């Protein structure tokens, strides 16, 4: 197990980098930041000039790939890092220098126990993109098909393992302070981040996710998922169909090519709703670099490393929440939150409905371009704090994807109204899922399942059963020793140690 001193040293090194970009100022000034974290932040920036405006994205890019991925995760948590920091972190693009081609060639050949010439007739040694985890090369197979070949960076697994271990340690120290930070559950955030990156580091699982998504979206012909070349796919290498297209953030190029941007925006919204509401399996990394408009007017997606799942019960609640906000039925939305136990039961459902109305009415019916996102987020964060709502980590990916999907759709069609676009889709799905036939079918299934549980229930009366609507079981959290002040000899010894570390940091890290 890594020693505490190693974690502290890594944090100080990263802290110096953060400080050079002014990223520690916001942490220090936030009243919710525990005193211990403020103290470490002050030590880390000791002796460094502070820029006027913090640049969190640039700081994390300088630290490395694991930090970039963590920053992308934190960009979905404005309640944890603040709206301004979340907006800054959303700029992370993973533009990194590529790994030497000799190492890439070695990774491909060792994965298939074959030479590169046996697998591909042509292979461009210069990557078309180099991200934090992998890089992509264009190639032609021996059968003459154009493909994109994604290869993991050499040593990336070990680098992520070291970084995540320290993230877990730091989250445990922070959460132990209690208060507002404990409500935000940073340990679970890091645990989910660890799960997501584990999936991204296995390209064969990514290929399987792409295959499953392609099957699910046969009912949405406007949204295309490329074919996987399974013969040339392994844990460290993914080969898929090459897609010629225009990135969705180049609106003028789309118009010049004859695309209808309003149609593209509608396709994007419908495809996301079908993934999240109907199938419960969705592409959770829908940024501009992963979406293209094909020459025939379809939208194509790539990069299936981060995928999300939502069970049926949660999907029904999600649909009801969205539909309630669309129609202004805030009472029903409030009831769903209490049924799902997202709000502690000692609060009043009517008061919660009133709070939702205060957040929803100012934006309902407006096109996205006329909505103040900052004002909306401020209202929602106030609600979560006032009603002591714990973070729901299993919904983080869905929240992130909804925000990204809305942003891209708005760039394509500034006049789009997301609520109106979603209304008919949600109405039809809810009629199917919540109509009388579905209701009685569900009751029959539930009854049969309940009867099957009776023998086990008698033997295990004290067994803990999750309440209906609760989050899925959280990832296991590692055992981490939390630093106790008495064990450090009190504040005096802590100050001496902190001073020594700061002095060493100034000499070695500048």
Q: Which is more confident, 134 or 406?
A: 134
User: What is the CA angle 331-333-335, rounded to 5?
Assistant: 70
Q: Which is more confident, 371 or 88?
A: 88
> Which one of the listed residues 79, 229, 285, 413 is annotated catalytic?
285
Q: Give the confidence band of 500 by pLDDT, cuts at 50, 70, 90.
A: very low
What is the β-pairing status of strands 146-152 and 237-241? antiparallel
For position 101, what pLDDT does the model report?
94
Provide the token pair at 42.
Answer: 């002050």
Q: Let me know: does 306 contact 76? Beta carbons within 8 Å.
A: no
What is the β-pairing status of strands 223-224 and 299-301? parallel
Name the average pLDDT for the chain: 78
What is the β-pairing status of strands 299-301 and 129-130? unpaired
Range from 18-27, 67-76, 103-112, 363-372 carrying the lowest mean pLDDT: 363-372
Q: Residues 254-270: pLDDT tens digits? A: 999 999 999 999 899 88
For position 501, what pLDDT does the model report?
43
The pair phi, psi for residue 308, each rounded to 5°, is -120, 155
Range from 49-58, 322-331, 441-450 carrying the lowest mean pLDDT: 441-450
Sole residue written with tokens 């023998």 = 455
Provide the token pair at 294.
Answer: 């094909």
Q: Give the confidence band of 506 by pLDDT, cuts at 50, 70, 90.
A: very low
What residue ranges in 321-393 does DSSP mark as E strands?
Answer: none
Catalytic residue status for 285: yes
Sole residue written with tokens 């006032």 = 386
Residues counted in the chain: 510
Q: Let me know: does 318 contact 339? Beta carbons within 8 Å.
A: no
| Direct distance between the N- and C-terminal alpha carbons of the chain, in angstroms, rounded to an integer | 29
Distances (CA, A) of 354 to 216, 348, 358, 477: 38, 10, 6, 37
- SS3 label, residue 31: coil
The rounded distance, in Å, linking the Cα atoms of 4 and 172 is 12
Range from 84-93, 94-103, 212-221, 230-239 carrying the lowest mean pLDDT: 84-93
Sole residue written with tokens 């199938």 = 279
The rounded distance, in Å, linking the Cα atoms of 371 and 502 is 46
Q: Tell which residue, 126, 125, 119, has the closest CA to residue 140.
A: 119
Please say if the pLDDT value at position 202 is more than 70. yes
The rounded distance, in Å, linking the Cα atoms of 280 and 300 is 19
The rounded distance, in Å, linking the Cα atoms of 166 and 112 is 34
For position 504, what pLDDT does the model report?
44
Per-residue DSSP letters for 168-207?
Answer: HHHHHHHHTT-HHHHHH-HHHHHHHHHHHHHHHT-HHHHH
Domain ranges of the chain: 4-92+177-189, 244-447
Among 174-183, 202-211, 264-273, name the most confident range: 202-211
What is the β-pairing status of strands 223-224 and 237-241? unpaired
Question: Rounded mean pLDDT of 217-238?
Answer: 94
For residue 291, the number of C-alpha atoms closer than 13 Å in the C-beta half-sphere is 29
Please say if the pLDDT value at position 147 is more than 80. yes
């Amino acid at each position: 197990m890594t020693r505490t001193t190693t974690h502290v040293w890594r944090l100080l090194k990263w802290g110096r980098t953060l400080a050079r970009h002014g990223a520690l100022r916001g942490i220090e000034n936030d009243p919710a930041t525990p005193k211990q974290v403020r103290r470490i932040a002050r030590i880390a920036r000791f002796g460094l000039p502070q820029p006027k405006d913090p640049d969190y994205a640039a700081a994390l890019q300088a630290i490395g790939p694991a930090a970039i991925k963590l920053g992308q995760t934190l960009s979905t948590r404005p309640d944890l890092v603040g709206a301004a920091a979340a907006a800054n972190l959303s700029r992370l693009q993973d533009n990194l220098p590529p790994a030497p081609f000799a190492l890439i060639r070695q990774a491909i050949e060792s994965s298939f126990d074959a030479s590169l010439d046996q697998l591909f007739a042509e292979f461009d040694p210069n990557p078309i993109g180099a991200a934090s985890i992998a890089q992509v090369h264009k190639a032609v197979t021996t059968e003459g098909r154009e493909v994109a070949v994604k290869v993991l960076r050499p040593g990336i697994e070990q680098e992520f393992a070291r970084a995540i271990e320290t993230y877990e340690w730091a989250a445990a120290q922070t959460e132990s302070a209690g208060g507002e930070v404990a409500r935000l559950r940073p340990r679970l955030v890091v645990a989910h981040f660890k799960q997501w990156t584990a999936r991204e580091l296995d390209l064969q699982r990514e290929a399987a996710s792409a295959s499953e998504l392609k099957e699910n979206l046969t009912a949405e012909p406007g949204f295309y998922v490329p074919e996987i070349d399974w013969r040339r796919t392994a844990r460290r290498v993914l080969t898929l169909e090459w897609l010629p297209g225009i990135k969705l953030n180049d609106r003028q190029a789309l118009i010049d090519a004859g695309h209808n941007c309003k149609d593209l925006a509608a396709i994007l919204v419908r495809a996301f709703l079908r993934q999240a509401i109907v199938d419960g399996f969705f592409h959770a990394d829908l940024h501009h670099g992963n979406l293209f408009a094909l020459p025939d007017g379809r939208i194509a997606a790539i990069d299936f490393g981060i995928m999300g799942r939502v069970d049926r019960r949660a999907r029904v609640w999600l649909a009801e929440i969205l539909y309630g906000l669309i129609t202004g039925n805030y009472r029903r939305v409030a009831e769903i939150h209490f049924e799902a136990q997202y709000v502690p039961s000692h609060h009043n459902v009517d008061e919660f409905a009133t709070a939702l109305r205060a957040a929803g009415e100012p934006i309902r019916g407006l096109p996205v371009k006329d909505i103040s996102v900052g004002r909306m987020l401020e209202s929602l964060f106030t609600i979560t704090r006032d009603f002591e709502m714990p973070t729901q980590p299993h919904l983080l990916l869905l929240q992130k994807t909804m925000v990204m999907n809305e942003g891209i759709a708005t760039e394509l069609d500034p006049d789009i109204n997301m609520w109106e676009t979603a209304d008919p889709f949600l109405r039809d799905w809810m009629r199917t899922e919540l109509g009388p036939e579905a209701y009685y079918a569900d009751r029959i299934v539930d009854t049969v399942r309940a009867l099957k549980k009776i023998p086990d229930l008698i033997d295990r009366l004290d067994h803990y059963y999750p309440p209906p609507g609760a989050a899925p079981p959280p990832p296991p959290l590692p055992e981490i020793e939390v630093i106790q002040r008495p064990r450090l000899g009190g504040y005096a010894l802590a100050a001496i140690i902190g001073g020594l570390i700061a002095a060493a940091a100034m000499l070695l890290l500048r």
